Amino acid sequence: MRSDEEDSFLIWSHGLRRSETNAFEAVFDAMYDALFRYSLYITRDREASSDITQDVFVKLWQIRESIDPDRSLKSLLYQMARNYSLNHERQKKRHATDALSDDHPAVSHDTLNDEHLDADDLRKRLDEWIEDMPERRREAFMLSRYEGMSHDEIASLMNLAPKTVNNHIVLALQHLRQKVEAYNNA
């Protein structure tokens, strides 16, 4: 399974170097959704994530001749999506003062009267609790929990020591645990 996937990416890398549009198309279809989600984990803005993912693919085609087939194309794409997303966040902060409105109103933290945790409510709460995590911790956790990346992959993508990734994820789980306990005791 895994090596089939690696094979495909290797073939696409060579295809891209030869300017083959069908390879480009295949990479788009294989990676768009995952890169969009990753960008969304960082920016939490669907519109921006769509733009960013588009930029990633346009850039990929521009640099196609310099793609190194010995390096993972998939990692390259994640890395580009990450750089563009972080860049977007930096620009947003820089212009935060003249922003007319915030796309992301702060999530509400009202205490609940409800005693029990029904499924819908749980999903909503989960989103809020995950939102509450520090940015880098949330990113590492999302990649591990919802993208199935190994700690090594996350470490190299986020330029962290593998041990730091371990810490982030354990702390993320502890964060959730505290939230659940606070919720149950409310």
Can you give the binding site for other proteins, defined by CB under 8 A?
5, 19, 21, 24-25, 28-34, 36-37, 40, 46, 48-55, 57-59, 61, 88, 91-92, 95, 99, 119, 122-123, 126-127, 130, 144-148, 150-151, 162, 166, 169-170, 173-174, 176-177, 180
Question: What letter does residue 104 receive in the DSSP assignment?
Answer: S
| Residue 13 to residue 110: CA distance in whole angstroms | 50
- Return the number of the residue (25 or 135) whose C-beta is nearest other proteins: 25
Sequence-ordered list of residues with C-beta below 8 angstroms from that of 107, at least 6 positions apart, any chain = 127, 128, 131, 132
Closest approach, Cβ 156 to other proteins, in A, equals: 14
Question: What letter does residue 186 receive in the DSSP assignment?
Answer: -
- Return the number of the residue (71 or 173) whose C-beta is nearest other proteins: 173
Cα dihedral value 148, 150, 156, 162, nearest 10: 140
Alpha-helical regions (H) of 44-150: 46-62, 73-94, 119-131, 135-147
- Return the number of the residue (61 or 156) whose C-beta is nearest other proteins: 61
- Return the number of the residue (18 or 109) whose C-beta is nearest other proteins: 18
Closest approach, Cβ 148 to other proteins, in A, equals: 4
Q: Could you give the 3-state DSSP secondary structure of residue 18?
A: coil
Closest approach, Cβ 131 to other proteins, in A, equals: 11
Tokens 């620009």 map to which residue? 91
Closest approach, Cβ 55 to other proteins, in A, equals: 5
